[in-house]
Structure 1
Amino acid sequence: MDGLGELEAAVMDVLWQASTPLPVREVRDRLTTGRTLAYTTVMTVLDNLHRKEWVLREKNGRAWHYRPAGTREELVARTLRRLLETTGRPDVVLLHFARAASDRELAVLRQVLDEREGGHR
């Protein structure tokens, strides 16, 4: 996921499961990485995720509270869009993707294309 490391992905999982924004300490307490992490480690990961625009943060008293910048699907789609934009040849990349797509993926693509065509008539 857009160069997310294992710990970044684990932090995102915690935030996606939360119903409200979380402070660093609570994110650290909810992580199930199998090892004890320092507060500063989790804080650094959250700062990096904020810089990468995967999380939003808001000040609550003296502490930052973090929440995902979108659903897992929205953020992955945004990542795919950014990757396409960096290739210089998004049409070729899309052709390769379409040729390798499963029947289910192709059906979803057809549905979206049909919806878009219907909206432009």
Structure 2
Amino acid sequence: MRQLGELEAEIMHRLWAWGRPATARDVLTDLNKKRPIAYSTVKTVADILYGKGMLRREKEGRAWIYEPTCTRQQYTAALMQEALGSNPDPAGALVSFVEQMSPDEADSLRAALRTAKRRSDA
């Protein structure tokens, strides 16, 4: 899974935050609060995200309703997995990553490891 482009990320972040399906017009209205952008641009990028498997869509009247196919956490995990998988020294990459963490992030990692262990033991 490759990293999202700028507008792709803006669209996905909105859909993840809203937690509900939305039209390209809904996304456009929100994007236009920060910068002007054309409807056709938002619609094209939403269609590209659909083609990449990041969004599913369903016709409602004349409009497509878009919804993410994965959570923000699943997307981030896939990016991390890809980065580790392409590294010849994944353990070294993990050590470097952990060394750059804040104490709160390290606590979150410890909690995630405990949760993963409990799930695998169950």
Q: Which category of TM-score, normalised to the shorter sequence, fits these structures?
A: 0.7 to 0.9
Partner of 1:41: 41
On the 8 A contact 2:20/2:67 being kept in 1, the answer is yes
Partner of 1:93: 93
Offset of residue 96 of structure 1: 1.2
Partner of 2:8: 8
Whichever residue aligns with residue 90 of structure 1, its letter is P
Sort the Cα spacing of 1:85 and 1:53 in 2 relative to 1 into closer, same or farther, 3 A. Answer: farther
Q: Where does the alignment leave 5 or more consecutive residues of structure 1 unmatched?
A: none
CA distance in structure 2 between the partners assigned to 1:58 and 1:64 by the alignment: 6
On the 8 A contact 1:57/1:66 being kept in 2, the answer is yes
On the 8 A contact 1:10/1:33 being kept in 2, the answer is no
CA distance in structure 2 between the partners assigned to 1:17 and 1:6 by the alignment: 16
Matched ranges for 1:57-76 at <5 A: 57-76=57-76
CA distance in structure 2 between the partners assigned to 1:38 and 1:64 by the alignment: 17
Offset of residue 115 of structure 1: 4.2
RMSD (Å) for aligned C-alpha atoms: 2.7
TM-score, with structure 1 as normaliser? 0.73
Q: Do residues 120 (structure 1) and 114 (structure 2) align? A: no
Sort the Cα spacing of 1:33 and 1:107 in 2 relative to 1 into closer, same or farther, 3 A. Answer: same
On the 8 A contact 1:69/1:75 being kept in 2, the answer is no
Sort the Cα spacing of 1:14 and 1:117 in 2 relative to 1 into closer, same or farther, 3 A. Answer: closer
TM-score, with structure 2 as normaliser? 0.72
- SS of match in other structure, 2:86: helix
Q: Where does the alignment leave 5 or more consecutive residues of structure 2 unmatched?
A: none
**What is the total number of aligned residue pairs between the two structures?**
119
